[in-house]
Amino acid sequence: MPALKDLRRRLRTVKSTQKITRAMETVSAVKLRRAQERVAAARPYADCLAAVVRSLADDESTQEHPLCQTRPVKRRGLILVSADRGLCGAFNSNLFRQADNFIAEHGAENIDVVPVGKRANDHCRRRGLTTVDRLAALGGEARSADASRIAESAIDRFAAGDVDEVWILTTRMLSLIRFEPQFERLLPLNLGQGEEQEAPTERLNYLFEPDATSVLGAVLPRTAESRLYLAIAESVASEHSARRMAMHNATENCKELSQQLTLDINKARQASITTELGEIVGGAEALKG
């Protein structure tokens, strides 16, 4: 059995670690609540834009917009949204596994990657992937200015014909304990054809001035930006949720280890006392003899 001094040193270390993980769990819980509020605040705007776009889709003159044109895919763009830091379980590794499968399927030479987040930038650098833009760090929150810049860059490359499709790979939070990497096609934009439409009684009739095509030209870039912002916001919320859960599990493991070490210390102390008593009794018997 390890020495009593070593066991006590290990117990102090485990208890110190437990305090750190408990504090990180609390911080992540607070940040998670704020991130969820950002996601909830962004959804109504995205839903209203989608409703306007669906109404514009009824006008045949809008079907020829450059951002909606489907063409043979020779080169793809991938916006990879990751976390800035670790200590969040398998959050980043699951995301990068999906990204590597996507790149292997379509060929690394045919994909331009836009890494968003420190871990995504590190992954692209290690893999030697071609990057055309990047966001070095998110800073633990989603910012509309960052989403607008990345979306504008993707729109420019798509309109110029440098890429034929642009995909977003981000982590969606399905619940507080469940989050999965998911792909979403950003460009070309889908105007709503083939999607489940609202009931005719619920559809609003919009009047577009000066015309539907002009309005579409202004709305579609905003639609791409709102989708990318929402994807980043959900990724940030998923990161905080994953870190909160990972730190909770780490705290519980520290608690169990502390209990086991306490038992080991008691056993070692009892063994030491028993040994000393045996030596005393043995010495007393020797003196009698």
In the predicted model, is pLDDT for residue 61 greater than 60? no
Strand order in the sheet with 111-116: 111-116, 76-81, 165-175, 178-187
Nearest Cα to Cα of residue 20 among 247, 242, 258: 247
Looking at residue 216, its pLDDT comes to 79
Q: Is the pLDDT of residue 59 over 70?
A: no
Q: Which of 68, 88, 124, 254 is catalytic?
A: 88
Residue 212 C-beta-side C-alpha neighbours within 13 Å: 18
Tokens representing 136 are: 């070095």
Of 14 and 49, the structure prediction assigns the larger pLDDT to: 14
Is the pLDDT score of 132 beyond 50? yes
Structure tokens of 18?
């437990």
Q: Is the pLDDT assigned to residue 198 strictly greater than 60?
A: no
Between 263 and 68, residue with greater pLDDT? 263
Q: How confident is the model at residue 251 (pLDDT cuts 50, 70, 90)?
A: very high
Q: Is 254 a catalytic residue?
A: no
Q: Is the pLDDT of residue 203 over 60?
A: no
| Average pLDDT of the segment spanning 30-59 | 85
**Taking residues 75-96, what's their average pLDDT?**
93
pLDDT at 145 over 50: yes
Question: Could you tell me if 132 and 112 are in contact, meaning their C-beta atoms sit under 8 angstroms apart?
Answer: yes
Q: Where along the chain do its domains lie?
A: 23-246
pLDDT digits (tens, 9 = 90+) for 211-229: 777 777 888 889 999 999 9
Q: Is the pLDDT at 254 greater than 50, yes or no?
A: yes
Cα-based distances in Å from 238 to 99, 125, 146, 232: 17, 24, 18, 10
Q: What is the pTM of this model?
A: 0.84
Structurally, at CATH architecture level, domain 23-246 sits in 3-Layer(aba) Sandwich (3.40)
Residue 38 has what pLDDT?
92
For all residues of the chain together, what is the average pLDDT? 87
**pLDDT of amino acid 193:** 46
Amino acid letter for position 43 = R
